[in-house]
Amino acid sequence: MKNKCKMKRIVVKVALAMLAVSLCVICASCRLLSSDTEYVSRSYLMMDTVIEIKLQCDREVAAPVFDRCGEIMTDIEQALSRTLPESTVSQFNAAGKVTPDAETAAVLRMALEISDKTDGAFDPTVEGVVSLWDTCAAENRLPTEAEMRERLAHVGAEKLILSEDVLTRADPDTTIDLGAIGKGYAIDRVVAYLESTDIPGGVVSFGGNIAVFGAKQSGEPYRIGLRDPQNTTGVVGYLQMPSGVISVSGDYERYVSIGGERYHHILDPATGYPTTNGLHSVAVICENGALADALSTALFVMGKERAMAFYRAEIYDFEAIFVTDDAVLLTDGLASSDRFELASDRYALIP
């Protein structure tokens, strides 16, 4: 028992140390902020990632606010997690029927809408395939064709039925995973709460999702460093963020190794395999975190041509940055501004 607790403490410490390293890299604003003496921060290990909140106020004011942010995130995790057995998502996956609370219902509605608008590039019913990869990774083997075919047969957001207050399914083997939208949704809820306090500004960083709110004391916009997928201690460039959320999906963050090969965690719901379309990362910038999160996954799956056509169709209001092997592409709204600044000679900037 004692050993178990000790082990757990070591795991948490290692995770926090890794978090500290990754945050400095993902979010150059952390470095900029540390020169501002007024910021205080707290880190949390939750939702399968490291979260850091930095607030422009003093420690006494921040303490209860940090506590409340922790409660908000715990509630969201308890509803949306696919691994906690009591979560709304797990209850649905086990029983095929659940009555979500109003907020979870709103996330589900949004997930279904985005799935529809992106032609299934973002698909919350990809869960069966996600678990197949988990099982195969544990057994150090690839899924067989038959296994993949069987799981794919139950994928498709049209198999979910969300009425006024109940989520059910047309296919008894369809399961859900809100991992590609949940962190963005949590960021929205935390920022909405922070904006309701008297704290003038800050940064909320959730793995690959970063939100800024309020104004910096210097009056300058926040600057976010976009991590280089091919050299994860470097940055591709910097983005000025006066407000809103940036959400990054990449092939370098989370992956499993099978037979010495890397298989990343963003799956093409059409094939069940990790996407391989030349993109290494996609950043989506918009005012809504849940939308930014889901769209970064969707655009990553679409590939740059389809993603650019999706952007130009103006279905949603967002901007994006695409990183390939040797180029960085910007959507029109970013290309016509001076908000993005390239910082690596590995890449050519293609407006």
What residues line the site for Mg ion (CB under 5 A)? 180, 293, 296-297
Residues composing the chain: 351
123, 115 contact by CB (below 8 A): yes
The torsion angle over the Cα atoms of residues 91, 92, 97 and 99, rounded to 10 degrees, is 70
Shortest Cβ 279–ligand ADP spacing (Å): 12
Closest approach, Cβ 248 to Mg ion, in A, equals 9
Smallest gap, in angstroms, from Cβ of residue 250 to Mg ion? 10
Nearest to 213 by CA among 68, 110, 205: 205
Does position 123 interact with ligand ADP (CB under 6 A)? The reply is yes
> Two tokens at 252?
């370098």
**Of 126, 212, 279, 299, the one binding ligand ADP by CB under 6 A:** 126
The string over 126-148, giving b where at least 16 C-beta atoms fall within 10 Å of a residue's C-beta and e elsewhere, is bbbbbebbeebbeeeebbeeeeb
List the single partner that 267 binds among ligand ADP, Mg ion, none, CB under 5 to 8 Å by kind. Answer: ligand ADP
- Binding marks (x or -) toward ligand ADP, 168..207, rule CB under 6 A? ---------x-xx--x-----------------------x
The 3-state DSSP class for residue 205 equals strand
Please say which residue, 56 or 275, places its beta carbon nearer to ligand ADP.
Answer: 275
Beta partners for 54?
Answer: 41, 203
Q: Select the residue interacting with ligand ADP from 128, 202, 208, 244 (CB under 6 A).
A: 208
Closest to Mg ion by CB, 55 vs 89, is 89
> Whose Cβ is closer to Mg ion: residue 201's or residue 207's?
207
Please name the helix (run of DSSP H) or strand (run of DSSP E) that holds residue 223, with its range, or none: strand 222-228
Among ligand ADP, Mg ion, none, partner that 228 touches (CB below 5 to 8 angstroms by kind): none
Structure tokens at 204: 């909320």
What does DSSP say about strands 160-162 and 97-98: parallel, antiparallel, or unpaired? unpaired
Out of 56, 297, 324, 331, the only residue in the binding site for ligand ADP (CB under 6 A) is 297
Smallest distance, Mg ion to C-beta of residue 249, A: 5
Supply φ then ψ for residue 85, to 5 degrees: -65, -25
- Closest separation in Å from C-beta 182 to Mg ion: 9
Q: Contact, 118 vs 82, CB < 8 A?
A: no
Considering beta carbons, is residue 88 or 296 the nearer one to Mg ion? Answer: 296
Kindly tell me which of 128 and 237 has the beta carbon lying closer to ligand ADP: 128
Is residue 133 near ligand ADP by the rule CB under 6 A? no
CB 241 within 8 A of CB 224: yes
CB nearer to ligand ADP: give 133 or 340. 133
Determine, following the binding rule CB under 6 A, whether residue 152 of this chain makes contact with ligand ADP.
no
Task: Count the neighbouring beta carbons within 10 Å of the beta carbon of residue 111.
Answer: 26
Judged by CB under 6 A, does residue 324 bind ligand ADP?
Answer: no
Q: Does 269 bind ligand ADP (CB under 6 A)?
A: yes
Cα 155 to Cα 128: distance, rounded to the nearest angstrom: 7
| Shortest distance, position 338 Cβ to ligand ADP, whole Å | 28
Q: Please, what sign has the CA dihedral across residues 269, 274, 279, 283?
A: positive
Give the one residue of 15, 46, 130, 270 binding ligand ADP; rule: CB under 6 A: 130
Helix (H, G, I), strand (E, B) or coil at 66: helix
* Distance of alpha carbon 83 from alpha carbon 130, whole angstroms: 12
The residues that touch ligand ADP, with contacts defined as CB under 6 A, are 122-124, 126, 130, 177, 179-180, 183, 207-208, 249, 253-254, 265-267, 269, 293, 296-297, 301
